[in-house]
Structure 1
């Protein structure tokens, strides 16, 4: 036996080296046209291109024909439907244009009359649309809770002591019978007007300096009354609040009535169009509370309270949920994103009606698309590359500018598309509504071809962003230490936006701009018939001072004249001391009583004393 190792790969067959020599000898002096009949041996090619014998697997790994057969087999196998580990159809490549599915097998859009419903008569005044949300029942509730809180606050012992030590306190001016609905409307009207006439300080609206004066505010309501209502405003009963850590604790207890009522009224007076979107938004603030979130991609407010919104494509907010952190998160086995989408869609009553939902890559998942499709709801949205269940041919695609690649799994279609050179990675989208189809549009004088689902996503996804932009320009929000007050004002702004959207759809002819619409609302709310209440007498009465404290009697004591007379009783509302025998001569409505100045005795008082 020779010492040189044999290059043969099997018994009875020549090695690669011998085959190469034989081929060169048979083709010498020719144009390299190989005749199979002149070959040194014949290959055994099976009839089934996918079947291979043991000897072929062992011996034909390096032959050109074997490599060609392997490539053909791989291409044929790639074209065949694949299955995952559970036996379900896997992602298969598709090419545009893909025929659309049978309309009979797809869910149809059920709502027929989209837009306003239960609305005022056509061409009504702007105030009629505000009253759809800020109705009389809600205003009465807010007045009741505000007066309840004011009474509890002003009768507290610590507040009474503080008022006694500060004779000029504004709390002494609180109306004896509380505020009315008319005063609350004026307060809301001025608050809305502050979003149209923006100033940095609250007191600047009542400034008397010629260069800074805005006389309208003082003509509607004095500053002391506005600041009092602003301090006492409440929409829920604090005595029913469950402590933190106890069962039934609600982090949004202080705004729960108005939040729930607005969500109900938003759905009662509007039917959204077929294309809706879900996204998160922010109520900007930096208060020291545990609910503050940080979202760097929200340019209008990076810090604040996060909320999830379901909006129509025109910016109408259909339903919203406030986010209080992971301790109060929407629980779901498939994760937070899945739970948020299903909760908003369920509470909005939009499932099983053929709606088309658009979401961003935080929410879009293949499993969510399957669940929504089973509930007759379409889903289109961007997808993260690391999302579970996405094909590697899409998530790891290397595409040139303008290239697309499609993969389908049942009713779900995934696409990767690279639109421009500056886009390092292709954008990935998933949809249960559109087929694999490209559309050509003109952009800046050039024709641009992109997937049809990308075009529709750009058109209908921005409902929440449109809402944020419209609210931000004329927001009545102001900086405050009480976080829930800013949430309350933000909810008012959203109600004003929704009212304007209904106004646009329910008005013929020339329509007011949003600025003029709000001006009309402000002027209507601020025109009331009731006079602004001044200090009243029913709450004024003498109270025994705590301990052994005494005060100068404001009626009979005169320090300058050397006649100092002390009393164990005082009037908390006037913050002055007074003997019981002098109480009948004390005029509670005079301003001097609040400053502790001695009363001027009238002729009638002198007669009574005699």
Structure 2
């Protein structure tokens, strides 16, 4: 899973606004369940009880129950004196493999170890391909816009950051800024909607043009004209420090519930978070192949929401994502706050997939791809009840997975070796690549005769390429699980994550990245439908930045030529305060600090022997 790396740029600490992380709390995740979660295991489905003395394990020991009481019993090791009931010998002759496909199976999978007839088959033994799903989406797949519409990039972006969303952000930012600056010598000045569009333009621009420090964008050394023409450095940092998504009064009320069941850990992102999820689902409908996976938004700040991904040594906030496998559109997601979205006792992996799959909105006949953290026979069978087919890698010790030993791989199986076993609608496939891979699927045939070139060691000890068998389930999995990775790539291209100590700001910048990434997918799909050539990623972001900047042009920080002053008004310099060391502002021309302004233009300008910016600026503007 690709992880969005955090930008190595640090916004200047504004002494007037404290960045102390008041919501940081002692995380209580140092439990056995958290350790299993870090290792990519589900605390419910992957917890193994002690084996009975006779070596056989029944499904009652492995399968989690729906109720909390039964679940607790299933996680406890069986007593050494527990007697496993014997299965009466069957008087019927073994059925051929082909006949097992059409048989009906109970919801609880049959124990693999309890069946003496269960064995692994190789590629030379025939399997019957199960009926393929009939794809019936609730809407036409693709953008839910007219293909002939000529929407600008800004209009597409506003489908995710709507006017109501922007109004809420501006209102709450002003409320938080005024509250935090109360009693300060420099009071908070309310920002407008246009200035918030300016701010978003610069945030996306900073993903295209990268510097290690935010102040470098306004530095005279680099002389970048765009940031200075859009917004002053002081204004940008002020908005960055006061940025707030939720109502401060609601935050205070929620903070009073800390430690109770009513405390909402995601309160500070809810106004944008919920509306963005609904917008993502409303503006696009995925094609038949979809993928679910987790995504980590990198952050070094430690609060209870943070997760640690051991495989890549990255800390951050975890999101569970459902994406279109073909184009990488982020269709649904939720932020993991330390507990399952739906508590039904079946484990985080099961509940996460069920929370992301909404068959009433999606339709039926979808093919869902996932990795071994989510895959379980119980999940796949319940997805079939929703008419959603599934495929993914699976952990051999997961509940319900066959543990037959007959005709299994030898100790040193050659590359390309294949074994398969069908349990009614579930097909389990083992394939030997560089290491052994185990798959589970509900819509594949075991082997179709496909081959792939792999590098193997020849008889003379030299490496050579050889065609080896490959199951169709492996090919499809490698092709379609990249949906979330492709989504990460679209978002991560010049991503807009800025360094911050506030967890909700980190997620805000990621939400901006999701909106920009989905906007690009909509633009690309609409362009292809119209037979036109879409923008490249870089050209797309440059155009979107310019359109966002144009939205706020009425409040541009560096205006054009000033209008003539009214009769009787002259351009005279004056000090901003009685003390020249107080209230110094940035010169409009050289960007150095100055204590003088023009009384008519209200423009801060230097007036020194070596920096006569006052007269030069007025001459340039014909004043």
TM-score bracket for this pair, using the shorter chain length: 0.5 to 0.7
Q: Matched residue of 1:392: which SS?
A: coil
Contact 1:292 1:304 in 2 (8 A): yes
Q: Does 1:248 align with 2:262?
A: yes
Number of the residue aligned with 1:531: 555
Determine the C-alpha separation between the residues in 2 that align with 1:515 and 1:276: 26
State yes or no: 1:414 paired with 2:428: yes
In structure 1, C-alpha distance between the alignment counterparts of 2:109 and 2:293, rounded to whole Å: 35
Matched, 1:277 2:291: yes
Determine which of 510, 514, 523 is the counterpart of 2:533: 510
Instruction: Sort the Cα spacing of 1:441 and 1:127 in 2 relative to 1 into closer, same or farther, 3 A.
Output: farther
Provide the rounded CA distance (Å) in 2 between the counterparts of 1:405 and 1:325: 38
Q: CA deviation at 1:151?
A: 2.3
In structure 1, C-alpha distance between the alignment counterparts of 2:541 and 2:181, rounded to whole Å: 35
Structure 2 unpaired stretches of 5+ = 1-89, 113-117, 455-464, 559-574, 586-598, 605-623
Change (3 A) 1:371 1:84: closer
Picking from 391, 395, 412, the partner of 1:380 is 391
SS at match of 1:438: coil
Give the drift of 1:92.
6.0
3-state DSSP of counterpart to 1:257: helix
Q: Which one has the largest radius of gyration?
A: 1
Q: State how far apart, in whole Å, the 2-side matches of 1:516 and 1:239 are.
A: 41
How far 1:449 moved relative to its partner?
Answer: 2.3
How much does 1:146 deviate? 1.4
The 3 A distance-change label for structure 1 pair 112 and 525 is closer
How far apart, CA to CA, are the structure 2 residues paired with 1:485 and 1:387?
38
Q: CA deviation at 1:181?
A: 1.1
Shift of 1:467: 1.7
Deviation at 1:295, TM superposition (A): 0.6
Deviation at 1:349, TM superposition (A): 3.3
CA–CA separation in structure 2 for the residues paired with 1:556 and 1:471:
47
Structure 1 residues 145 and 119, CA, compared in 2 at 3 Å: closer, same or farther? farther
Does the 8 A contact of 1:274 with 1:356 survive in 2?
Answer: yes
1:230 equivalent in structure 2: 240
SS at match of 1:427: strand
Corresponding residue of 2:377: 366
Indicate how the Cα distance of structure 1 residues 497 and 394 shifts in structure 2: closer, same or farther if over 3 A, else same. farther
* Contact 1:383–1:428, Cα closer than 8 Å, also in 2: yes
List per-residue Cα deviations over 1:174-199 (Å, max 9, x = no partner).
Answer: 43xx2111111011001100000011
State whether residues 295 and 319 of structure 2, in contact with CA within 8 Å, keep that contact through their aligned partners in structure 1: yes
1:339 has 2:344 as partner: no
Q: What is the match of residue 437 of structure 2? A: 427
Match of 2:542 among 519, 526, 547: 519
Q: Give the Cα separation in 1 of the matches to 2:160 and 2:367.
A: 27
Q: Is the 8 A contact 1:99 1:435 kept in 2?
A: yes
1:550 aligned residue: none
Alignment of 1:405 with 2:416, yes or no, is no
Q: Pick closer, same or farther for the CA change 1:124–1:590 going to 2, 3 Å.
A: closer
Equivalences for residues 3-152 of structure 1 within 5 A: 96-102=125-131, 107-111=134-138, 113-118=140-145, 121-152=148-179
Give the C-alpha shift of residue 85 in structure 1.
13
Contact 2:366/2:389 (8 A) holds in 1? yes
- Following superposition, the deviation at residue 99 of structure 1 comes to 2.6
Q: Which moved more, 1:502-511 or 1:397-406?
A: 397-406
SS of residue matched to 1:393: coil
Tell me if structure 1 keeps the 8 A contact 2:142–2:525. yes
User: Aligned equivalents of 1:237 and 1:183: distance in 2?
Assistant: 19
SS at match of 2:277: helix
CA contact (8 A) 1:394 1:406 kept: no
Verify: 1:450 aligned to 2:444, yes or no.
no
Of residues 304, 309, 315 in structure 2, which corresponds to 1:290? 304
CA distance in 2, matches of 1:85, 1:502: 40
Task: Tell me, yes or no, if structure 1 residue 480 matches structure 2 residue 503.
Answer: no
- Verify: 1:354 aligned to 2:362, yes or no: no
Contact conserved, 1:267 with 1:348, CA < 8 A, in 2?
no
Alpha-carbon distance in structure 2 between the residues aligned to 1:463 and 1:362: 16
Partner Cα separation in structure 2 for residue 394 and residue 285 of structure 1: 45
1:392-413 Cα shifts (integer Å, max 9, x gaps): 2379643432121111111111
| Structure 1 residue 189 corresponds to structure 2 residue 201 | yes
CA deviation map 1:55-111 (0-9, x unaligned): xxxxxxxxxxxxxxxxxx99x7596879999895965655654233356xx554445
Instruction: Give TM-score scaled by structure 1 length.
Output: 0.67
Deviation at 1:502, TM superposition (A): 1.0
Give, in whole Å, the separation in 2 of the partners of 1:348 and 1:224. Answer: 49
Q: Return 252-261 or 469-478, whichever deviates more.
A: 469-478
Counterpart of 1:568 in structure 2 is none
Q: CA deviation at 1:389?
A: 1.2
What CA distance in whole angstroms lies between the structure 1 residues aligned with 2:437 and 2:576? 82
Tell me the matched-pair count: 450
TM-score of the two chains, using structure 2 as the length reference:
0.66
Alpha-carbon separation, structure 1, partners of 2:107 and 2:477: 32
Q: Which has the higher contact order (CA 8 A, sep 6+)?
A: 2
- How far off is 1:556 after superposition? 13
User: How big is the shift at 1:429?
Assistant: 0.3
Q: 1:492 to 1:437 in 2, by over 3 A?
A: same
Q: Deviations over 1:507-552 (max 9, x none)?
A: 1322110110010000111123323479xxxxxxxxxxxxxxxxxx
Measure how far apart 1:296 and its partner are: 2.6
State the superposition RMSD in angstroms. 3.6
Distance 2:487 2:346 in 1: 29
CA distance in 1, matches of 2:490, 2:392: 24
Asked whether the equivalents of residues 418 and 469 of structure 2 are also in contact (C-alpha less than 8 Å), the reply is no
Q: Distance in 2 between matches of 1:506 and 1:185?
A: 24
Structure 1 stretches lacking a partner, 5+ long: 1-72, 165-170, 535-553, 559-570, 575-586, 593-610
> Which residue of structure 2 lines up, in the alignment, with residue 466 of structure 1?
486
Q: SS of 1:293's equivalent?
A: strand
Retained in 2: the 8 A contact 1:150–1:232? Answer: yes
- Flag the 1:273–1:556 CA change in 2: closer, same or farther, 3 A: closer
How far, CA to CA, are the matches of 2:310 and 2:150 in structure 1? 42
Cα distance, 1:401–1:222 mapped onto 2, change above 3 Å:
same
The separation in 2 between residues aligned to 1:102 and 1:290, in whole angstroms, is: 46
CA distance in 2, matches of 1:405, 1:501: 39
Q: Is the 8 A contact 2:119 2:404 kept in 1?
A: no
**Does the aligned pair in 1 maintain the 2:120–2:405 contact within 8 Å?**
no
